[in-house]
Structure 1
Amino acid sequence: MKKINLTDLYEDKGCLSEYDPNSLSYNKAILYLEQLIQPIKKTKKISIEDAEGYILAKDVKSSINVPNYDNSAMDGYVFRHQSLKKNNNKVKLFGKILAGHPVDSNKTSNVCFKIMTGGMIPKGFDTVIPQELVKIDNDFICFDFQPKKGANIRKTGEDISKNEIALKKGTYINPLHIGLLASLGISQIKVFEHLKIGFFSTGDEVVQLGEKIKPGQVYDSNRYLIKSFIHKMNLHFNDYGNLSDNKPKLEKQLKKASEENDLIITTGGVSVGEADYMKEVLSNIGKVLFWKMSIKPGRPMAFGKIKKSFYFGLPGNPVSAAVTFLQFVKPSIKLMMGNSRFEPTPTLEAKLGQKIIRKKGRTEFIRAHLKKTVKGYHVKPLAQQGSGMLKSMSDANCFIFMAEKEEVLEKNTNVKVILFDGLI
């Protein structure tokens, strides 16, 4: 696929001939986002204690071997394999080795040490047998088989060798990475700075929490929904509140947000209603690439750029806002923060509990409930699938992923499922 840039796509609509710009497919959107998103370049050094949710800005090499000594993988007895005799696996017990307390033994005779997990293997000793596989006979251990030489020993550098790259630039740091860094004795790392993210919701019908709601009004659930998603990523954003459907005010706020943030996210105002002004405003002060997506829910989603800031305009319906944030905005945030690639949400397979029939043409994310049975994973779609029904989103624990060319999913067939656990 030819390398593209946002300016070319905006100014030369001939570049868009391979798809309908009014209805961009799920897969094409991901391809274009991966090419268009530019990571921020500012870096800083931070403590590994504060590193979760940051992107590594430099490869981390190990200055030591891990482990840095041969040690026992379990509680047992360590001996020299060559000292065993056929039909006579009886070894004299000479002493005990605890983790952190090595022994210096020059014994060459048929002896063994009781050794605890992590205990250092004495020089010349090469095999460990688990303690539950031996019998004690006075000062001897006895066993009725010959274990393999080198069994149950963790070798020096087996996990990571000295000068090996332990973590690559572009890694999104999680608690497991932090544990690895600590095991290398590393207390600080170089990371990309966090994004500056600006957010506001739009709509004359939107009222804030604590106010009395009137007929025709809705509470500003999107503001708290998006804020929670971003906080879950260990990020913060500038909250500009809610704006009415007023073109001058929207334009003024977008200009201000573009001066103060690397990324702007809004909800509402990106559909085709008479008061949905965002496309017009964006076209006046920036560039718009995506406008309609061939996905359900989430068809009206905008993507573009205002000055130095990237922009995502999410739908006003809360479920649509959630789906588009999770599928497009969250991976794009990671890309902007320096992640090595656009990470699509992982899927697993589960058996479908009931037949699904729909009109093909759009990638669909069907709210569903997944459960594990003795026969494996089974998934069943929820009855309520409206894009404004946030209750069904909170009742679900997964999406059934239905590709745009699929029209029927038969009962008891295996389908792709995206788990909320880890995603939300």
Structure 2
Amino acid sequence: MSMNEHCDSPDLLPIQHALAKMLKQAPALTDFETIDLLEGLNRVLASTIVSEVNVPPSDNSAMDGYAFFCDVTLAADTELCVQGQALAGNPFESEVKPGHCVLITTGAILPAGTNTVVMQENVSTEAQKIILNTTVRPGNSVRSRGEDIRKGDKVITKGTKLTPAHLALIASLGLAKIEVTPKLKVAIIATGDELVEAGDSLNDGQIYESNRFALHGLLQQLNVDIIHYGIIADEPDALKKSLLDAANNADVVITCGGVSVGKADYVKQVLQQIGEINFWKVAIKPGKPFAFGKIQDAIFCGLPGNPVSSYVTFEKLVAPVLNNLMGCKPPRSIPQVALCAEKINKRVGRADFQRGIAYQDNNGILWVKLNGKQGSGIMTSVANANCYILLEQEQGNVPQGAEVKIELF
């Protein structure tokens, strides 16, 4: 059966095409702000950092030991007279004479007349001299000036999301402030008469609203400012008011539900009045119905109402847009290959992100199995999984023992 004959295939937009359209309409914002370095974790660098110093600034000792000069390998039993000491932050100011050494601590500047350090554990001390207990090569245990970073080096490029290691690296350059892109303001709206706030009691036909909690957590990981609009009933005037208010106060507006074809799905109707919105059937499973466009100056993303569909479409379609707006370089995802522990059913026509559990057997071979039922309303399939099983749009059933790509959470 060809893709064009399959029930999943008519009018479906491949996920790569949807992403390309979205990213084109959501270019990186050009504003930036200056913040204290201590506030920089998970912020996106707005300008490339070029070092104005060498790191380390001087040749220094990598060990606690003794510094001296040698141009050939020194044999064990070599004796050197101790001339003084060089401490971190308190250099030895004189030049070390040939045949002499100075006691030196880790990080201390290498004194003039020295080029080598021997560890204190590898010497014997006797009065005012040391005796080598091992051979020592020239340049041993010395960290050279500019060994890590040289003045003028591009250290961290624009668009990098800063990690704790980046903050330490920037601090080593002597910078106390950095330029970053502003935090995005993202509004979340849940729609549906059947939805009830957690903590309230349920009537027949009602369910607890949960999508906002997943989205809130996912947005926190992206380090954006979140504006909650709660649950809006399926009533056009209320929807219109909330959507316009959200667009006035946020850079991005995200809704859950109401972008399908049901009689009470008024979000689509209202959006056509107040925005420039594309309504797509994206070739993604779970999560086929999706809306994208603008309300006034705000980017709009309309997610399906089913919990797993909402979760997956956010990760695979919305998160890349938010990163692009922040000028963030796309995170590198490196899929791994695993063997199927069981047959996986897959219909041709949509890229499928099935939720799985990856594990290694006693021989170190990586396997993956499905994490229970894969319905779009079964959130335990995500919560108790540790990976996506990545099944391409053209792919069909996967037999037991076959190789598949997985993406660990």
Say if 2:60 and 2:142, in contact at 8 Å, map to a contact too: yes
Question: Residues 30 and 342 of structure 1 are in contact (CA less than 8 Å); yes or no, is this contact kept in structure 2?
Answer: no
* Structure 1 stretch displaced more, 33-42 or 301-310: 33-42
Give me the whole-angstrom Cα distance separating, in 2, the residues matched to 1:115 and 1:21.
75
User: Pick from 144, 150, 165: which aligns with 2:154?
Assistant: 165
Would you say 1:36 and 2:25 are equivalent positions?
A: yes
Match of 1:362 in 2: 350
Alignment pair present for 1:252 and 2:252: no
Correspondence for 1:291:
280
- Cα distance, 1:101–1:220 mapped onto 2, change above 3 Å: same
1:329 CA displacement: 1.6
Q: Residue 317 of structure 1 is aligned with which of 306, 331, 337? A: 306
Q: CA deviation at 1:205?
A: 0.8
Q: Which amino acid aligns with 1:301?
A: F
Counterpart contact for 1:245–1:277, Cα < 8 Å: yes
Superposition pairs for residues 21-420 of structure 1, below 5 Å? 22-82=11-71, 84-85=73-74, 90-92=78-80, 94=82, 96-130=85-119, 134=122, 136=124, 138=126, 139-145=129-135, 147=137, 149-339=138-328, 341-343=329-331, 345-372=333-360, 375=364, 377-420=366-409
Distance 1:21 1:27 in 2: 16
- Tell me the distance in 2 between the aligned counterparts of 1:137 and 1:376: 54
Query: Which residues of structure 1 form unaligned runs of 5+?
Result: 1-19
SS in 2 for 1:166: strand
CA 1:390/1:76 → structure 2, altered by over 3 Å: closer, same or farther?
Answer: farther
The aligned residue for residue 17 of structure 1 is: none
Instruction: Tell me, yes or no, if the aligned pair for 1:83 and 1:109 is still in contact at 8 Å.
Output: no
Indicate if the aligned counterparts of 1:353 and 1:380 stay in contact, CA closer than 8 A: yes
Contact 1:21 1:291 survives alignment (8 Å): no
Give the TM-score normalised by the residue count of structure 1: 0.84
User: Contact (CA 8 Å) 1:225, 1:322: kept in 2 or not?
Assistant: yes
Quick one: which amino acid aligns to residue 167 of structure 2? Answer: I
Deviation at 1:357, TM superposition (A): 3.5
- Alpha-carbon distance change, 70 to 259 in structure 1, aligned in 2, over 3 angstroms: same
Distance apart, 1:71 and its partner CA: 1.8
CA 1:163 to 1:387, structure 2 compared with 1: closer, same or farther past 3 Å? same
Q: CA deviation at 1:258?
A: 1.7
**In 1, distance between residues paired with 2:394 and 2:68?**
63
Give the 3 Å change call, closer, same or farther, for CA 285–73 of structure 1 in structure 2. same
Contact 2:277–2:294 (CA<8 Å) still a contact in 1? yes
Letter in 1 for 2:98: S
The answer to whether the Cα contact below 8 Å between 1:91 and 1:112 also exists between their aligned partners in 2 is no
Residue 377 of structure 1 deviates from its aligned partner by 4.1
The separation in 2 between residues aligned to 1:283 and 1:313, in whole angstroms, is 12
Q: CA deviation at 1:259?
A: 2.1
The answer to whether the 8 A contact 2:96-2:113 is kept is no
Residue 88 and residue 55 in structure 1: after superposition, are their counterparts in 2 closer, same or farther (change >3 A)?
closer
Residue-by-residue CA offset, 1:93-147 (whole Å, 9 max, x unaligned): 6255443332234234234445433232222322344555x35374434355453
Determine if contact 2:81/2:99 at 8 Å carries over to the other structure: no
For 2:64 and 2:375, how far apart are their aligned partners in 1? 57
Which secondary structure does the structure 1 equivalent of 2:188 belong to? strand
Deviates more, 1:104-113 or 1:381-390: 104-113
2:6 alignment counterpart: none
TM-score after normalising by structure 2? 0.87
Q: Measured at CA, do residues 215 and 55 of structure 1 come closer, stay the same or move farther in structure 2, by a change above 3 Å?
A: same
Which string of whole-angstrom CA distances, capped at 9 and with x for unpartnered residues, describes residues 393-422 of structure 1? 1111221222222324454555332222xx
- Secondary structure at the counterpart of residue 71 of structure 2: helix
Distance in 1 between residues matched to 2:171 and 2:209, nearest whole Å:
42
Return 5+ residue gaps in structure 2 as ranges: 1-8
Q: Match of 1:325, as an amino acid? A: F
Change over 3 Å in CA distance of 1:196–1:136 after alignment to 2? same
Separation of aligned partners in 2, 1:43 and 1:21: 43
Aligned to 1:10: none
Residue identity over aligned pairs, in percent, reads 36
Tell me the distance in 2 between the aligned counterparts of 1:126 and 1:349: 49
Q: 1:242 to 1:126 in 2, by over 3 A?
A: same
The count of residues paired between Structure 1 and Structure 2 equals 397
The 3-state SS of whatever aligns with 1:136 is: strand
SS at match of 1:356: coil
SS at match of 1:232: helix
